[in-house]
Structures are given as C-alpha cells and as structure tokens.
Amino acid sequence: MTPRDVVNGYFAALARQDTAAAVEFLDPEVVDEISSVGVLRGRDEVRQFFDGLFKAVPDLEMRVERTVRERDTVAVQWRAQGTFTGGPLFNGIQATGGEVRMRGCDVFDVRDDLIVRNIAFQDGLELARSLGLFPPQESPAERAMIGAFNTATKVRAAVRDRFGPSSG
C-alpha cells in the first residue's frame, strides 16, 4: 500500500464517519497536531476527537480536494460542512443549528502502512464565521469590530508612548 493509499483510506473512513475503521490507519502512538484543537496522542484521543465532531455535526460531509505526495509524506487539501445540531464543538461551543464550514490541509507522515504523524491546519476564520463567533465578511458588524480594535490599538500605543513599554 502506498502512503497515498493509506491516507485515502483514512479519509474514506472519516467520510463514512467510521472512526473505528479510521483509527486502524493510525500508528498506535500517532501524534496529531490540529491547529484549532491542540495535540492528540494515540488512536484513542484521535477517535474521541472525531466521535465528538460527528456528534456535534451529525451530517458532516468531508471531501478531499487534492492530495500531493512526496516519498512518505502526503498533503491533503479538504473541505467539510454540515449542520451544527448535536453536542458541543471543539472547546465547548454550544450547538447553533447553523451550517458549519471548514477547510484545511493535513500533512501526514506514513511509515509501515500507518500514519505516524499529522499536522492539520484549518481556516479558523472561516470556521469562526460559520459558527457565528465572528461577523460575516465585509458586514457592518465586522467593520465596527475592526474599528473598535484599531481604536484600542491606538490607545495602547498612546499609553506606551506616554508612560513607557511596561504600561498598557
């Protein structure tokens, strides 16, 4: 089996929401670094993460858009979407009933037909917008938020200029 076959099998199992099958593609000591979540160690932690994700978004659809392989490393560009109707998502965010959209890129290292390491990068801003944690792009709410941020930045700079770098 090629490294690409291993990774494709892993994503196919996740697309079916079959976490038992998905973890069979992982080394028992796998390290999975997910940018929006943290580091998961071992099959059990990875399975718990995906079980929670599928519980939070029961109709989650995942699709691979592109894979690139170099020796034992496979990069996967992916998209996922579904309805956030189940349990809490990620760090305790309560279900909104709205659509969740995610996109990202995972970089897998494969040895002896098992994934030994994954570094997953997600578009956190797209996810935050879809969850309602961040206002829609170019909306009045976003402009107001950016304006408030810029005002606070100017105030902090003025305090630093007046009282020194340890202030503000």
At 59-103, the pLDDT tens digits run 999 999 999 999 999 999 999 999 999 887 776 888 888 899 899
Q: What is residue 28's predicted lDDT score, i.e. its pLDDT? A: 98
- State pTM to two decimals: 0.82
Report pLDDT for 53: 92
Q: What is the pLDDT of residues 19-71, one digit of tens each?
A: 999 999 999 999 999 988 899 999 999 999 999 999 999 999 999 999 999 99
Scanning the structure block, which residue is given the tokens 């037909």? Answer: 113
pLDDT at 165: 76
Give the pLDDT of residue 168. 54
Q: Does residue 101 contact residue 136 with C-beta atoms inside 8 Å?
A: no
User: Poorest-confidence range of 37-41, 44-48, 130-134, 140-144?
Assistant: 130-134
E strand residue ranges, the chain: 26-34, 38-41, 61-70, 73-83, 99-111, 114-122
Q: Measured at the alpha carbon of residue 69, what is the angle toward residues 63 and 70, in degrees to the nearest 5?
A: 160
Give residue 25's identity as a one-letter amino acid code: F
pLDDT range class, residue 167, cuts 50, 70, 90 = low
What would the mean pLDDT of 121-146 be, rounded to a whole number?
A: 86
Q: What is the pLDDT of residue 47?
A: 97
